[in-house]
């Protein structure tokens, strides 16, 4: 069985700011919104894929922002390094902070949405390496520079190999 993550629904407080953030940073578009059951809390559905009704949704029922949610983070895989760079540019334009971490098998940016929900956007590298691994990386590098840096940084780690050469059953296969 191959399971694919379909969507995540977050409880939020401010739909206007959340819609703006997810639209500006990721390019999500609202696909539907309304009141649950006609009179319940508002729910907003958003997607970047015209074939997916919603990849993320927001239920406007969070009372305060002082208490964290049980969510650790939502992770979004992108297919190209340039897409990570685009998210970085979008975050920079908003003045948002982010943490660039490399896991050897992925180049990631970690950041929060306006209500403190933790997010990750990442690009798979062509390598497998035993996890967990975390190294800060410079998101101003070009793709070639970044991939060379990843190889040099992780090549001496246990089980470092090209994904296609890995003997591990579960690796970052695309």
User: pLDDT at residue 3 above 60?
Assistant: no
* Strand runs labelled E in 23-133: 29-35, 42-47, 56-60, 74-78, 99-102, 106-112, 118-124, 127-128
| 126 close to 108: Cβ distance less than 8 angstroms | no
For residues 92 and 87, give the distance between their C-alpha atoms in angstroms, rounded to a whole number: 8
pTM, 2 dp: 0.79
Helix axes 81-94, 15-26, angle to 10 degrees: 140
Q: What are phi and psi of 74, to 5 degrees?
A: -105, 130
What residue spans of the chain are helical by DSSP H?
A: 15-26, 81-94, 143-154
Which domains, and CATH codes, for the chain? 1-62 (3.10.180.10), 73-174 (3.30.720.110)
| 116 close to 90: Cβ distance less than 8 angstroms | no
Residue 87 pLDDT: 95
Peptide bond into 122 cis (omega under 30): no
Read off the pLDDT of residues 65-122 as tens digits, 9 standing for 90 and up.
Answer: 777 676 778 999 999 999 999 999 999 999 999 999 999 999 999 999 999 888 999 9
Contacts of 134 (CB under 8 A, 6+ apart): 101, 102, 103
| Helix/strand number for the chain, H first, E second | 3, 11
| 127 close to 105: Cβ distance less than 8 angstroms | yes
Residue 174 pLDDT: 45
């Amino acid at each position: 069985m191959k399971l694919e993550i379909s969507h995540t629904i977050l409880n939020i407080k401010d739909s206007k700011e959340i819609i703006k953030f997810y639209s500006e940073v990721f390019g999500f578009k609202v696909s539907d919104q309304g009141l649950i059951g006609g009179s319940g809390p508002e729910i907003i559905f958003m997607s970047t894929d015209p074939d997916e009704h919603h990849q993320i949704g927001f239920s406007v029922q969070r009372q305060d922002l002082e208490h964290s949610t049980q969510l650790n983070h939502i992770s979004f895989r992108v297919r190209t390094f340039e897409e990570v760079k685009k998210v970085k540019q979008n975050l920079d334009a908003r003045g948002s902070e982010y943490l660039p971490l490399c896991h050897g098998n992925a180049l990631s940016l970690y950041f929060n949405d306006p209500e403190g929900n933790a997010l990750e956007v990442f690009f798979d590298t062509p390598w497998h390496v035993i996890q967990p691994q975390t190294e800060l990386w410079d998101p101003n590098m070009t793709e070639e520079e970044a991939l060379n840096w990843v190889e040099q940084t992780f090549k001496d780690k246990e089980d470092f190999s090209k994904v296609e050469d890995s003997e591990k059953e579960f690796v970052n296969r695309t």
